[in-house]
Amino acid sequence: MAKQELGISDPGKCRQLISPSEALRRNPNFFEGRPTDVSWTLTVRHLDGRIEKLPAGTDWEAVSRFGVIRSAVVTNPDGSPAFDRPRYDEAPNVNIVAWGKDKKGKVKVALISQSRPHADNEFEPENTEPMIFEQIPMGFVDKVIGKDQMERFEHAHEAATRETQEETGAIAVLDIACPEYSKHYPNPTFIGTNSDLVFVEVDLTQIDKMKMDRTEPIFNADYVPVSEVLADIKKGKTDRGYARMCTANSAILIFLAGLEQFHRAERNHTVVSRKIETYKKVKTNLSDEERRKLFKLKSEIRELEKKATKK
């Protein structure tokens, strides 16, 4: 039976993830039989300075509209408690590979430079300034009011378009696509939720850097050739920052793994379109056989467009 809405005592949908209180119900000695430094416990410092340590087995959660952290216990396949580890869930969000082609047809990918104060800089231990990462655009999905006047989350494609425009200054979006398995799991060892992975193609001739969102600490945004993106990842650090954000690098890898499909579909579409244009120039003198070929080519274009949309 599937679990219902998650809560303080329902940390996850998987049957092998239960709350500490449920672990105690199944095995009253579960926490007592483990070393004290193995179990996760919550310590709270009150406003009056008192420090309170909650006993192992307590269900707890920390919640905001951006996410939630809950206590959780992983079970063995037979349902017996195995070990505890909190689970972190994020609010709905998108990871975006924004890309386009320059006048020579070369693919370029959007990279932004953004500070991440939560990250400790192990490359520069004495540096106490926020780490700057070279990464892709990403962001939370906004809540909007639908036609029925009910509040809902915007579609992932809407969020991806908005974030691409805000963070990279893109004005014209040409196409939106997703990989076959479009959910992006940042670190499933303790993060339960996922991000929508979206590929947004933009017109590189219409980039307005003055319109980039400056409400976020984004210091730079560039559309970079694929070869340079890979070189940055190999180096690890460039003027744009550290190229060591796993979420960004894995999204780029997924995009590059399917890039040939975009090229192939476009090449086929171009070849067929050129043939049709040739026929159009002499359409007044077409024979019955040539008209049949023209109809066949038009059908091929429609099929290619359908495949491109699915991909």
For residue 33, the model assigns a pLDDT of: 78
pLDDT band at 220 (very low <50, low <70, confident <90, very high): confident
DSSP state of 292: H
For the cut 60, the answer to whether the pLDDT of residue 268 exceeds it is no
Q: Which residues pair with 200 in a beta bridge?
A: 98, 176
Question: What's the burial of 47, exposed, middle or buried (CB within 10 Å: 0-12/13-18/19+)?
Answer: exposed
Distance of alpha carbon 311 from alpha carbon 180, whole angstroms? 7
pLDDT, tens digit (0-9, with 9 covering 90-100), for 49-90: 999 999 989 999 999 999 999 999 999 999 999 999 999 999
CA atoms 75, 80, 82, 86: torsion sign: positive
Q: Would strands 43-45 and 237-238 be described as parallel, antiparallel, or unpaired?
A: unpaired
- Least confident stretch, 13-27, 93-107, 220-234, 251-265: 251-265
pLDDT, tens digit (0-9, with 9 covering 90-100), for 292-306: 666 676 676 666 666
Tell which CATH classification among 1.20.1260.10, 3.90.79.10, 3.30.420.40, 1.20.1600.10 matches the domain 93-257: 3.90.79.10
pLDDT band at 271 (very low <50, low <70, confident <90, very high): very low
For residue 153, the model assigns a pLDDT of: 72
pTM for the predicted model, two decimal places: 0.79
SS3 228: helix
Name the token pair of 12: 């996850």
Q: What is the mean pLDDT of residues 191-195?
A: 95
Residues 6+ apart with CB under 8 A from 108: 99, 100, 101, 102, 204, 223, 224, 225, 226
Return the residue matching tokens 């990842």. 233
Query: What percentage of the chain has pLDDT greater than the value 70?
Result: 76
Q: Which residues pair with 199 in a beta bridge?
A: 97, 177
Q: Compare 103 and 309 and report the one with higher pLDDT.
A: 103
The answer to whether 245 touches 138, Cβ cutoff 8 Å, is no
Q: What is the mean pLDDT of the chain?
A: 85
- Displacement of CA 308 from its chain's centroid (Å): 21
